[in-house]
Amino acid sequence: MMDTAAEEIIIKGISASPGVCIGKAYLVDREGVEVVEKYRIADKKRSNEIKRFKAAVKKARDELRKIVEKSPAELQHAHILETHIALLKDKMLYGSTIEVIKNEGVNAEWALKKIVSNLREIFQTMTDPYLRERSGDVVQVADSIMRNLVGAERVNIAAIDKRVILVAHDLSPAETSQINLERVMGFITDRGGKASHTGIIARSLEIPAVVGLKSATSSIRSDDLIIVDGRSGNVIIHPAEDTLVQYEERKTHFEEYKAVITRESRVPAESVDGVRLEVMGNIELPEEVFALINYGGDGIGLYRTEFQYFNRPDFPSEDELFDKYKDVVEVMDPRPVTIRTLDINGDKALANPVGSDEKNPALGLRAIRYCLKKPDIFKAQLRAILRAAAFGNVRILFPMISTYFEICEANRILDEAAQSLEKEGLPYKRDIEIGAMIEVPSAVIMADVIAEKVDFFSIGTNDLIQYSLAIDRGNEQVSHLYQPLDPAIIRMLKHVADVAKEKEIKIFMCGEMAGTPHHIPLLLGLGMEELSMNPQTIPDIKRVIRSLNVADARSFLQDVLKQRTARNTFELIKATYGSILAEQTYSD
């Protein structure tokens, strides 16, 4: 290894989990299955080539069978794999590849690649996002055959015996969860996005990860020195001396910061004048619970339940849901777990659940509207929640409430669910707190009436801001108007907080606004009792709360309410609380 002259290269991906790691690369799929050679097969040898292809398919099937047998706990995963097994022998994949070998006299790899790229093209033109993504299944199945054809054995991640950074084309959630933290400092992949299951597991393992790099496996070789910056999403190959020094510092800085945070994370978030706030975490997967506890979360303020409904063609059964909820509830007990009922919307995979193409999914049939229209699906979830409630501290949160009628209906169906459990003699708990998400302007205006039907409000700022200012955050033309500090938003928050106080119900916030340090003085002034955020931000927010005085924050709010623009409000925060912002220890 004398190529010290190798030039420093930076490749940019998507940040999946923060932190910095520096070390030797370890390629998981040594021979990329992407580069495929083409060569002719003589007439006489074609039947042998077909045999070679069939043998590769058989091996791929045996591998999948083994994984299915080993993963009895992962029901969901297992049935995806069963479908993959059926796909291996599919005419369009298996039969067509054999046809191409026979008729065109090309090698098996090339024939398979040709078939897959044709299929991929067909899938790319589909309009339904969920169906379009099914091409991923076909590609993964083809990849497993290809690996066996070219003899590129998958490295067994669990067996790695030195400190390395994993470099892979793609890591499945199952592979990611096999990572041995003693050995693996971090990982990077060509494929994947921030919201992928793999990214979520990386965050819960608390190791740096960058995904979606596209060219990582083609530009990095095993044993190359690389730097992974999980926050910016940059990966540096062959770093120069001064880059190394710079990142060593950044790494030390991050680790010190984390050490301080961990030490302090269990200290309650009590303001200087003795007001205690609960700082909670938003989670999506049961696996995130441990990270949340490590970060000092006082409970779960938002448990998103959509995940169990994704990546599968059918709806999860009540028992499946109950098992997942119970796991979380038991681990968290006595800390509260706020389970938000199904919030299917246009962003997510179960798009257009009614089949009709909705032009405006954000304004369409989603969340509570969908559930009220599908009482069977709704009731199965409510029964699962009520049953899990017998094992700890559970609250229910109904999303997207926009009318009084909806909250009444939701409560009525909840009662029905409880009665049916009673009749069947199953253990459950009905006496739990019920909350309404306040994220639609009509709910803000009707808050006083809605309050009569619930024990708490939880303000979902992301949607509330979008719906109030009539902007689509994803639309670059207007996304600059997405301003949590817009005076219209602050007045709405004030109104909801006042109603909650008057009606003597609790008031929480679970949108992104709650996890942003410079918004905290405002939220204290408004009298929020609980803030819920990404688990990683909990320690920082707790620290900010401990440095503030609620009485001051209340009079500060009066000044804020006089502002006419978001910009002025931001300037006012900076002028008054600039020191808090400056103290944010780790930012690039």
Partner 1 sequence: MTYLTNLSPELSREVVIVNELGLHARSAAKIAGLAQNSKAAVWVKKDAEKADASSIVDILTLACEKGSKITLMIEDKADRPILEDIVNLIETGFGE
Of the pair 365, 388, the CB lying nearest partner 1 is at: 365
As a whole number of Å, the end-to-end CA separation of the chain is 33
Dist CA 316 CA 213 (whole Å): 33
Q: In this structure, is the dihedral angle defined by the CA atoms of residues 16, 194, 213 and 173, taken in order, positive or negative?
A: positive
Q: Does 283 participate in binding partner 1 (rule CB under 8 A)? A: no
Near partner 1 by CB under 8 A: residue from 6, 35, 55, 92: 92
- Which residues in 526-585 contact partner 1 (CB under 8 A)? none
Phi-psi region of 206 (alpha: psi -120 to 50; beta: other; left: phi over 0): left
Q: Is residue 114 near partner 1 by the rule CB under 8 A?
A: no
User: Binder to partner 1 among 128, 330, 502, 571 (CB under 8 A)?
Assistant: 128
197 is catalytic: yes
Q: Which of 9, 14, 78, 119 binds partner 1 (CB under 8 A)?
A: 119
Closest by Cα among 278, 286, 321 to 303: 286
| CB 220, CB 27: distance < 8 Å | yes
Q: Nearest-CA neighbor of 80 among 197, 194, 191, 187? A: 197
**Residues near 166 by beta carbon (within 8 Å), at least 6 away in sequence:** 26, 28, 157, 160, 179, 184, 186, 187, 188
Sole window of 335-343, 347-355, 406-414, 509-517 interacting with partner 1 (rule: CB under 8 A): 347-355
**Catalytic position from the list 77, 84, 169, 197:** 197
In angstroms, what is the minimal distance from the CB of 356 to partner 1? 7
Nearest to 57 by CA among 116, 143, 117: 143
Does the footprint of partner 1 cover residue 368 (CB under 8 A)? Answer: no
Separation of alpha carbons 12 and 248, rounded Å = 19
Q: Give yes or no for residue 290 binding partner 1 (CB under 8 A).
A: no
Smallest distance from the beta carbon of 95 to partner 1, in angstroms? 8
Q: Which of positions 14-53 make contact with partner 1 (CB under 8 A)?
A: none
Active site residue 21: no
| 238 is an interface residue for partner 1 by CB under 8 A | no
Looking at the Cβ atoms of 348 and 395, the one nearer to partner 1 is 348
Minimum CB distance to partner 1 smaller for 350 or for 520: 350
Nearest to 586 by CA among 537, 532, 542, 545: 537
- The answer to whether residue 281 forms part of the interface with partner 1 (CB under 8 A) is no
Q: Which residues of 242-276 are buried (b: 16+ CB within 10 A; e: fewer)?
A: eeeeebeebbeebeeebeebeeebeeebebeeebe
- In the chain, count of helices (H) and strands (E)? 23, 17
Binding mask 68-87 for partner 1 (x = CB under 8 A): -----------x---x--xx
Decide: is 488 part of the binding site for partner 1 (CB under 8 A): no
Query: At a CB cut-off of 8 Å and minimum separation 6, what does 47 contact?
Result: none
Residue 25 near residue 165 (C-beta atoms within 8 A) = yes
> Can you tell me the distance from the alpha carbon of 532 to that of 64, in angstroms, rounded to the nearest whole number?
40
Q: Which helix (H) or strand (E) holds 294?
A: helix 289-294
Interface with partner 1 (CB under 8 A), residue from 355, 470, 504, 582: 355
Residues 167-186 that bind partner 1 (CB under 8 A): none
In the bound complex, what is the minimum distance in angstroms from residue 372's beta carbon to partner 1? Answer: 16
93: contact with partner 1 by CB under 8 A: yes
Stretch that binds partner 1, among 47-55, 256-264, 353-361, 453-461 (CB under 8 A): 353-361
Residues numbered 313 to 342 that lie near partner 1 (CB under 8 A) are 313-315
Minimum CB separation of residue 558 from partner 1 in Å reads: 50
- Count of beta carbons in the 10 Å neighbourhood of residue 193: 12
Return the number of the residue (89 or 491) whose C-beta is nearest partner 1: 89
Which residue of the set 21, 84, 169, 510 is catalytic? 510
Strands 433-438 and 269-270, by their bridges, are unpaired
Of these, 58, 134, 429, 554, which contacts partner 1 (CB under 8 A)?
A: 134
The residues annotated with a catalytic role in the active site are: 197, 510
Please give the residue ranges that form the binding site for partner 1 (CB under 8 A).
79, 83, 86-87, 90-93, 95, 119, 122-123, 126-128, 130-132, 134, 137-138, 312-315, 350, 352-356
